[in-house]
Amino acid sequence: MNDDTERIFTKAGKWTWQEKGMSVVRSISRSAPGCHEGCGVLLYVKNGKLVKVEGDPNFPHNQGRLCPRCLAIPQVVYHPDRLKYPLKRAGKRGEGKWERITWEEAYETIASKWNQIKRENGPESVIFFRGTGRDIGSYISRLAYSFGSPNIVDFAPMDGHACHRPKTFVQRAIIGNYAVADCAQLFPERFEDPSWQTPKCIIIWGSNPTNSNPDGFMGHWIIECMKRGTEIIVIDPRRTRLATRAKIWLQIRPGTDAALALGMLNVIITENLYDKEFVQKWTYGFEELKVRVQEYTPEKVSEITWIPSEIIATAARMYATSKPAATHWGVALDHSKECVASIHAIIGLWAVTGNLDVPGGQIIRSRLFGFHKTVNAWGTECLTEEQKKKQVGLGTYPFLDWVGSPPNEVLIDQIFSGTPYPIKGGWFQTTNTFACGAADARRVYTALKKIDFNVVVDLFMTPTAMALADIVLPVATYPERDGIAQAGGSGSYLGCINRAIEPIGECKSDMEINLELGKRLNQEAWPWDNVRDMFSAMLKPVGMTFEELREASFVYDTIEYKKHEKGLLRPDKKEGFDTPTGKIELYSTVFEQCDLDALPYFEEPPQSPVSTPEIAEKYPLILITGVRVLGFFASEHRQIPLLRKMNPDPITEIHPQTAAELGIRDGDWVFIESKYGRCRQRAKLTAGIHPGVVSSQHGWWFPEKPGPEPSLFGVWESNINLLLPSGSTGRSGLGYPFKNQMCRVYKAEGA
């Protein structure tokens, strides 16, 4: 342990024990499969077989609560369709003909092909595709960088990096850090921590946290706050579960969030409800913001957003006068083309009300003893400056150098053009690419088929593996492996994933695969003999070995409030925020340097009843895509009996009035169609959605259907991304209109 151990809270407890004839292993649910969380679980094993899973009541993050996905993990582990052995394609791509091979042959084939590509085209010609990644992402990064490729493409954020990254990078520009709603989740004592205060108000903006876990945030945290007196404001086009419990529900027109935030700022500033002392001392550009918001009166914003002006004003007053107050936001904000402006405006709400870096407001999360540096940039030291400059699309968008990964359409264009260099190899890990993660899915599919040599790492044979792979590698589930679990974006712990059972067949963990392959490609970059030694090396900033972390169960970093007053946010240890001005930049000097608007603004979505009335004439409904479903995560779990029983069919929500006008009844199969494509889903009538809006699920494929081409497990039947165009990325390189396209809906006759 290092000299900072007094900063570390450890929760003592055995990591394994015997109970009623079973072995119990304390672990953390991560990948594969997984989500953004990492909940404490107790894995019960009898005769070497996982028989049940329970929540760990001693784990502060989830306090024993589990979702259906965690409870269903035995069905995942022992599913008959699990990939168990390495496979080599034995026919044409998409034919479904495979030959079982050894791991040695798989590794040697991959290393030989990649080294050939490196000699002939350079290592940058191999692209590393990853999805959400969870705790796997850093190992993919190191594999890419140690091979010499700067090209890691995150197909989980989709076009425009439209998932989490906009909020991350805008916060980095405006406040110099990353803040989340303070629901006591950063404390091991949780709600009993004496320094924490219950928020008087929480705005839930574009999120459905009881169904999903955006940025590692849990809905029951908000519910616990509500039990302690918190009142909530919900901003959502859909009447979610929490919207039915809200003090105020603002049913917003999709894509108009920036206008609403600017309208709320107008009310707060005009009525002198802002925190004058905080604004004067800790913000930059308030006077410019004050001028900008003057045009966004509640009346004007009402016309834009479809929300009555009096409700806008009431919500603004409630938030401004209910200190401390917090905002929890979701992926819906990232799913607009100019989401940067929306996020900037919402941060402005935090700042002018003085709700940043205070108990019960927006808390700036801990740095986990420096472990974040290992995770976020692991392996970059392997890249030369020359190779870094060869990243696909470098310079095409202002934020690309910062993000470190190109928007998808830039890569797809380069695959087709071969300029400035050809793309010859693809590594697909933690991603079911065209089934879930990209707009204009057929174009993406066509492009990826052009890559000469593809490797897919997964639990199951997916549409991506069937269509693209030359080699398929079988991966272990989290009960079958060891690992390090880091809290998602809203948490503050480190813990251990502990192997409870032996992997089925010849499955290996993602980490083991990358370590073993990495050693063949660059021994110096992968010097460890086994994954546990590798984990201990990663934990050096924490001052613990993997075994010490395992014995501790988990560790929490110390959390302090008002860090900006104590010199805890800036490298120079001065008070203030880690921005060029040392203040919260309501007027962003970073944006100004990037030739972007330095102040928040509203811009109509590229398709809307206002911006494209000619499109709206034929396609009159606003389409929301990507609504989260309890039981599924992205495109995972469609073959798991318990979870599929909960969600047997892909659903499109439609208002009863709209459905009646279209001759659609509840349960009918319908086509959802845009000017770009169509797909088929089942209609669900609900009064909880605006008559001018429909909401369609994403990530659907059908593992029970034929795998070979042309079916690919039915991936084209209900794939809502077929309706979405590529190339609608925001001008910064962040954001994409996944939740504001125009469409029409009609009954699928004969279905």
Phi then psi for residue 748, to 5 deg, are -85, 95
pLDDT reported for residue 397: 85
pLDDT reported for residue 409: 82
Angle at 288 between CA 286 and CA 294, to 5 degrees: 100
pLDDT reported for residue 730: 85
- 227 by Cβ neighbours in 10 Å (0-12 / 13-18 / 19+) ranks as exposed
Mean local confidence (pLDDT), 182-188: 92
Percent of the chain with pLDDT over 90: 77
pLDDT reported for residue 4: 42
Q: Give the tens place of pLDDT for each residue, 193-246.
A: 999 999 999 999 999 988 877 666 788 899 999 999 999 999 999 999 999 999
pLDDT reported for residue 582: 97
Percent of the chain with pLDDT over 70: 95
pLDDT band at residue 518 under the 50/70/90 scheme: very high
For residue 578, the 8-state DSSP code is S
pLDDT reported for residue 155: 59
Q: How far is CA 692 from CA 434, 607, 611, in A?
A: 28, 14, 16
pLDDT band at residue 11 under the 50/70/90 scheme: low
Question: Is the Cα torsion angle 92, 95, 99, 100 positive or negative in sign?
Answer: positive
With 70 as the cut, is the pLDDT of residue 623 above it?
yes
- Paired strand residues for 678: 673
Helix (H, G, I), strand (E, B) or coil at 732: coil
With 80 as the cut, is the pLDDT of residue 149 above it?
yes
Mean local confidence (pLDDT), 547-567: 91
**Using CA atoms in the order 512, 517, 521, 527, what is the torsion angle rounded to 10 degrees?**
20
Chosen CATH of 5-77 out of 3.40.718.10, 2.20.25.240, 2.40.50.140, 2.20.25.90: 2.20.25.90
Radius of gyration of the chain (CA): 25
| DSSP assignment string, 625-676 | E----TT-BTTBTTT-HHHHHHS-S-EEEE-HHHHHHHT--TT-EEEEE-SS
Instruction: Identify the residue with better confidence: 286 or 409.
Output: 286
- Domain spanning 613-747 has what CATH number? 2.40.40.20
pLDDT band at residue 8 under the 50/70/90 scheme: very low
Angle at 451 between CA 449 and CA 452, to 5 degrees: 115
Mean local confidence (pLDDT), 521-534: 97
With 50 as the cut, is the pLDDT of residue 509 above it?
yes
- Domain spanning 179-364+566-593 has what CATH number? 3.40.228.10
pLDDT reported for residue 492: 80
Q: pTM score > 0.85 for this model?
A: yes
Residue 96 corresponds to which tokens in the numbers above?
Answer: 């479904």
Residue 88 corresponds to which tokens in the numbers above?
Answer: 């080599």
Q: Give the tens place of pLDDT for each residue, 80-104.
A: 999 999 999 999 999 999 999 999 9
Instruction: Identify the residue with better confidence: 330 or 523.
Output: 523
pLDDT reported for residue 157: 41
Q: Give the tens place of pLDDT for each residue, 322-360.
A: 999 999 998 888 888 899 999 999 999 999 999 999 999
pLDDT reported for residue 104: 98
Q: How far is CA 437 from CA 129, 389, 492, 720, in A?
A: 11, 26, 28, 11
Q: Give the tens place of pLDDT for each residue, 486-495.
A: 877 677 888 9
Q: One fold for both 87-161+370-485+505-556 and 613-747?
A: no
- Paired strand residues for 685: 654
pLDDT reported for residue 595: 93
Domain 87-161+370-485+505-556 fold: Rossmann fold (3.40.50)
- Contact between 712 and 721 (Cβ < 8 Å): no
| DSSP assignment string, 667-706 | T-EEEEE-SS-EEEEEEEE-TTB-TTEEEE------TTS-
With 90 as the cut, is the pLDDT of residue 384 above it?
yes
Spell out where 491-532 has E strands: 493-497
pLDDT reported for residue 1: 30
Considering the chain, what is the average pLDDT of its residues? Answer: 92
pLDDT band at residue 170 under the 50/70/90 scheme: very high
With 90 as the cut, is the pLDDT of residue 2 above it?
no
- Domain spans of the chain, in order of start: 5-77, 87-161+370-485+505-556, 179-364+566-593, 613-747
pLDDT reported for residue 180: 93
- Axis crossing angle, helix 339-352 with helix 257-270, rounded to the nearest 10: 20
- Contact between 343 and 215 (Cβ < 8 Å): no
pLDDT band at residue 9 under the 50/70/90 scheme: very low
Mean local confidence (pLDDT), 125-146: 90
With 80 as the cut, is the pLDDT of residue 459 above it?
yes
- The answer to which of 24-38, 155-169, 334-348, 512-526 has the lowest mean pLDDT is 155-169
Which one of 138-142, 334-338, 682-686 scores highest in mean pLDDT? 682-686
With 50 as the cut, is the pLDDT of residue 421 above it?
yes
pLDDT band at residue 369 under the 50/70/90 scheme: low
- Contact between 325 and 199 (Cβ < 8 Å): yes
pLDDT reported for residue 156: 47
